[in-house]
Chain A
């Protein structure tokens, strides 16, 4: 994915910093608890939530099973409506296609609709390297971009920032990118939003090219769908002459009617809204080109693979591709709440990031090998997922890949990977424990030894054991293990 994430420390080390940052923890706790409580209420209002969830899962599974068919159908529909479809195998190819398309317009700047796909490929950095300025127009993305920061949440990229921090970023940075913040800007949300509105307005009115992603693509009609809450996305989608949309191939749904499910489940899961505030749809080219559609004067769709086909080849892991990026799993995750989004070293943080990133990028790096372990397997993420992704199941599946190695598909080729580095001692310990537990005689001897040595119980353990004793006491071994009590008290009966 993006270069900014290369060389990230593994999750435990990155999380350690976040856990010690009291302001960050307070920001995260307040925000995630507010959203999760609102989501729970919004979901309870629908009597058929379980059926909607099952329907969303079924539509996604069906589409993924026949992805080739629906993508070709989508391409035909988009082309028939006057759009141009480009296929990008990876981030480099997608960035090159978008850069060339922007260059062809002669423009040196683009406005952007908040999009996970373009973050995943590091498009802003690639455009910058080509001398093209990309302006984020989503309020939270704007805060992140102005603050030279990275997003830490899928839906609320600046969730880790409080109002005072945002005011400071606006005051110092807005002027360097365009219209400066008004004098004496305070930290009232209304004032901050107004400052952003004025700053962005000149960008909207000037822009000739916009770049977006899409939440859904309809194969039947070639329609693109973007969900957003502010209306800034709609400004980008309607004002510029050229629109370039970079969309992951898994975002396609077969028919227009399928959107009915997600129009209900996505807003409630993500922002706890009953209906999405701005749902923009466009099909091919608009009236200015004499076309029947309602799109811009020029429309390009870049279909992004970037590891998705390989993920699709994995029968357990492929369910991650059902994800509709609602971020409900982040808001209920107790690990995300403490560690924050940056610790995941990916544009996809939280539980979904912990299963998506190691599949899209492979488990070769330290951060990717640690992500499947960034969970207690508490199951809260699975419970709230509107498309029923069994995230704990995929975490276990990926842990197995890291610890044991196994078959994976890389660039379409089935290969067998070796266990990740640094697991030798753990593997030996797991094997030793298994050998002991497999022999009740040896287990019993071990338990008795523990009981005899109970007075020697140390307060601090050396080596990996210190990870327990740094913050907790060890359990007190009992005088005798249960099996000895049983033999003594009930020994006559088997």
Chain B
């Protein structure tokens, strides 16, 4: 099987380790990975801040760059939710404004082929034990878009629970938003910081070594809050834990992941 990686702009520029982890993980599971280099950003920052017209060229670019790939995998529930939930809306609005069906057609062509990483692993590949080894205590924060817009359910937890050596500790109030919210983090910094502080308080109280998530934008907010507080807890994207094996675990152990 072949799959195209939609790495997302945040991961490309700031968290390449997550992209590398997805490539290694999928290859280990027998999937040949393509990286269409014309891809960039899904347009979510523009769209979610109210700049729908600015998001349209990015919809077009994303759909065209990922055309022809039967499976597109992205390690971000938020970006997948943007494509699945909002691309059709953007297309419909453009058509309603008398600008033709091009964007709607591009959206309709892309949506059924796009999978969030845990969906692809569990639903398409049919695996929950990906052969990972990660001998640490981990608590998992389900990001809102993956949780509610995509309905990922217990897929991430099932994948984590099957990792050898991993001790999964439930995060109290896990389903509460961490306060990132894209431009919300800078438009409403006080509320955002208060929410982040509450989230890391809950995560630290679990005593886990690692706070795991499946969206690096939320993790950037939480990691930045943790480091400002000087807290010993570290954040890690789910893909990096799933990519970790007996051999890689010893190599990264003890080192800060970023």
Contact = CB atoms under 8 A, between A and B. Distances in A.
Interface string A442-454: 0100110010000
Contacts of B182: 376-377
Contacts of A87: none
A471 interface: yes
Contacts of A437: 9, 40-41, 43, 58, 61
Interface string B211-226: 0000000001101110
Nearest to B12: A482
A335 B191 contact: yes
Contact of B224 (A373, A401, A475): A475
A433 to B, nearest CB: 7
Nearest to A432: B54
A478 interface: yes
Interface stretch (B17-25, B117-125, B130-138, B243-251): B17-25
Contacts of B46: 430, 433-434
Contact of B188 (A335, A402, A433): A335
Contacts of A446: 13
Contacts of A374: 188
Interface string A1-43: 0000000000110011001100001000000000000000000
Contacts of A490: 23, 33, 35
A380 interface: yes
B144 A378 contact: yes
Interface string B11-53: 1111111011001000000000111011111010111111111
Nearest to B42: A437
B194 interface: yes
A287 B192 CA distance: 57
A468 interface: yes
B1 interface: no
B190 interface: yes
Given A464-B186, A478-B15, A379 B41 contact: no
A338 B178 CA distance: 12
B26 to A, nearest CB: 12
A475 B194 contact: no
B229 to A, nearest CB: 9
A467 interface: yes
Interface in B177-231: 177, 179-197, 220-221, 223-225, 227-228
B193 A472 contact: yes
B158 interface: no
Contact of B191 (A339, A396, A431): A339
B176 interface: yes
A292 interface: no
Given A472-B221, A482-B11, A399 B50 contact: yes
Nearest to B32: A493
Contact of A403 (B7, B50, B195): B50
B258 interface: yes
- Range class of the B interface residue count: 35 or more
Contacts of A478: 14-17, 258
A12 B149 CA distance: 26
A399 B220 contact: no
B48 A396 contact: yes
Interface in A366-404: 372-380, 382-383, 393, 396, 399-404
Contact of A372 (B20, B50, B54, B177): B50
A374 B51 CA distance: 17
Interface residues of A, number: 67
A468 B23 CA distance: 31
A474 interface: yes
A379 B50 contact: no
A472 B225 contact: yes
Contact of A438 (B16, B40, B47, B194): B40
B145 interface: yes
B228 A473 contact: yes
Given A338-B191, A473-B223, A490-B35, A427 B51 contact: yes
A485 B225 CA distance: 28
Contacts of B48: 377, 396, 399
Contacts of B228: 471-473
B40 A12 contact: no
Most buried by A among B33, B39, B54, B196: B54
A278 interface: no
B76 to A, nearest CB: 13
Contacts of B33: 490
A434 B176 contact: no
B57 interface: yes
Interface string B156-189: 0000000000000000000111011111111111
B224 A403 contact: no
Contacts of B223: 473, 475
B196 A471 contact: yes
Contacts of A485: 16, 19-20
A483 interface: yes
B148 interface: yes
A481 B35 contact: no
A373 B184 contact: yes
A364 to B, nearest CB: 16
A393 B179 CA distance: 18
B12 to A, nearest CB: 4
Contacts of A399: 48-50
Contacts of A471: 189, 192-193, 196-197, 225, 228
A482 B185 contact: no
Given A19-B194, A334-B195, A481 B13 contact: yes
Contacts of B224: 468, 472-475
B8 to A, nearest CB: 9
Contacts of A464: 186
Given A376-B180, A438-B58, A475-B223, A403 B51 contact: yes
25 contacts: A11-B188, A19-B193, A334-B176, A338-B191, A338-B194, A376-B182, A378-B177, A379-B149, A399-B48, A400-B50, A400-B51, A404-B51, A430-B45, A434-B46, A437-B43, A440-B37, A443-B12, A472-B225, A472-B228, A477-B14, A480-B16, A482-B7, A483-B37, A490-B23, A494-B37
Closest 4 CB pairs of A and B: A376-B181, A403-B50, A472-B224, A399-B50
Given A433-B41, A440-B40, 11 more contacts: A375-B181, A376-B181, A379-B149, A380-B175, A401-B50, A426-B49, A431-B51, A443-B40, A446-B13, A467-B186, A485-B20
Interface of A: 11-12, 15-16, 19-20, 25, 334-335, 338-339, 372-380, 382-383, 393, 396, 399-404, 426-427, 430-431, 433-434, 437-440, 443, 446-447, 450, 464-465, 467-468, 470-478, 480-483, 485-487, 490, 493-494
